[in-house]
Amino acid sequence: MEVNTQAQRPLQTAVRRGSAIKARGWIVAAAAAAMVLALPFAARAQDAAAPPPVKSTLKPNPEFAKLPQYVGTLGTRQIVMRLGAKAGDDDPTGVHGEYQFTDTGEVNLIAGDRADATLEAEDSNDGTHITGNWVGTFAEDGSLSGDRMDPDDSHPVPFDLKPIAAGGAAPAVSTGAASAPAATPASTPNGVHAVSGVSNLVIGQ
């Protein structure tokens, strides 16, 4: 039986073109599904339970020690967060501060907005690049819970924080990791963000 190669050629060309540019939604969806199925179960479980690696060069800011403190978990790791309103900020919803992993002592800056019970913030582990997004809700008792995600809103990791009462002691924090001097902000380029008063913040790669 003779195969009509001339009739097949347009179809083959169209398939190659669609595969190359991923123009059809079903191609993208199929590729995404294949990737998910190929991931080991343990890796997917880790994404949901553990925060991404932190390589912070920052040290705790004494000014943030005056802010309200929270203690709880980010994924499976314990953190202490110091978060409060920005002093002298024209935007009454603006908040800033820092959080610190108790197991390593590593510090991340955090800043964003609190509108009623909703917190939307960004963090940075070097004072320059955005390394994560936070979306959470304050409960009536002052506790804060939600998800911390990568800058592209992927890999959500749950956080659950409780306020530390005035005069209460925060958990002990390791001093073995965050020994490098705090990063010094550079001049402000055009079109950048600001985290915790650092105005040269740019989106991480």
Decide if 52 is inside a domain: no
pLDDT score of 168: 72
Decide if 122 is inside a domain: yes
Decide if 161 is inside a domain: yes
Number of domains forming the structure of the chain? 2
The answer on 163 and 86 residing in a single domain is: yes
The answer on 90 and 15 residing in a single domain is: no
Pairing of strands 129-130, 132-138: unpaired
Q: What are 136-185's pLDDT values in tens digits? A: 999 999 999 999 999 999 999 999 999 998 767 777 787 764 434 444 34
The answer on 85 and 23 residing in a single domain is: no
- Chain centroid to Cα 121, Å, comes to 9
Q: What is the pLDDT along the chain (205 residues), one digit of tens a residue?
A: 554 545 444 444 443 444 333 333 333 333 333 333 333 434 434 444 545 554 677 999 999 999 999 999 999 999 999 999 988 767 789 999 999 999 999 999 999 999 999 999 999 999 999 999 999 999 999 999 999 999 999 999 999 999 998 767 777 787 764 434 444 344 344 444 444 444 344 444 4
The answer on 128 and 93 residing in a single domain is: yes
Non-local (6+) Cβ contacts of 27 within 8 A are 18, 19
The answer on 67 and 34 residing in a single domain is: no
The answer on 86 and 158 residing in a single domain is: yes
The answer on 78 and 167 residing in a single domain is: yes
The answer on 67 and 32 residing in a single domain is: no
Length of the chain: 205
The answer on 66 and 33 residing in a single domain is: no
d(CA 39, CA 45): 10
The answer on 80 and 155 residing in a single domain is: yes
For the whole model, what pTM was predicted? 0.60
Residue 103's domain is classified under what CATH number? Answer: 2.40.128
Decide if 139 is inside a domain: yes
First CA to last CA across the chain, in angstroms? 56
Burial class (CB in 10 A: 0-12, 13-18, 19+), 196: buried
Q: Give the alpha-carbon dihedral of 38, 41, 47, 48, to 10 degrees.
A: 130
Amino acid at the residue 199: S
**Pair of tokens at residue 132:** 């994560």
Cα-based angle 177, 144, 42 (whole degrees, multiple of 5): 60
Print the domain residue range for 172.
Answer: 62-180+191-203
Decide if 69 is inside a domain: yes
